[in-house]
């Protein structure tokens, strides 16, 4: 479901996507069990991350 014209759906088979927000590079990756997000200083994407988080698809399921 697209919420606004700026929303993006990561297609199956695509490992992830880089998004730049001012001076922060954001990696959003998808795996078989969930989604990970890593934050880096822009231009230092393969150095140490500033922060990371992840969630499994099962954790994100709505209560039925």
Q: Where are the domains of the chain?
A: 16-56
Q: Please state the pTM of the whole predicted model.
A: 0.83
pLDDT for residue 6: 81
pLDDT above 70 coverage of the chain, percent: 91
Cα gap 44→63, rounded to integer Å = 39
Q: pLDDT grade, residue 8 (50/70/90)?
A: confident
Name which of 8, 6, 29, 7 is nearest 18 in CA terms. Answer: 29
State how far the alpha carbon of 62 is from the alpha carbons of 11, 19, 59, in Å.
Answer: 21, 27, 8
Q: Is residue 4 over pLDDT 60?
A: yes
Q: Is residue 2 over pLDDT 60?
A: no
């Amino acid at each position: 479901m697209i919420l606004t014209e700026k929303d993006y759906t990561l297609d199956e088979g695509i490992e992830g996507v880089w998004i730049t927000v001012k001076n922060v590079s954001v990696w959003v990756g998808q795996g078989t069990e969930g989604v990970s997000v890593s934050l880096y200083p822009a231009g230092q994407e393969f150095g140490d991350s500033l922060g990371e988080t992840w969630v499994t698809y099962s954790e994100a399921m709505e209560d039925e």
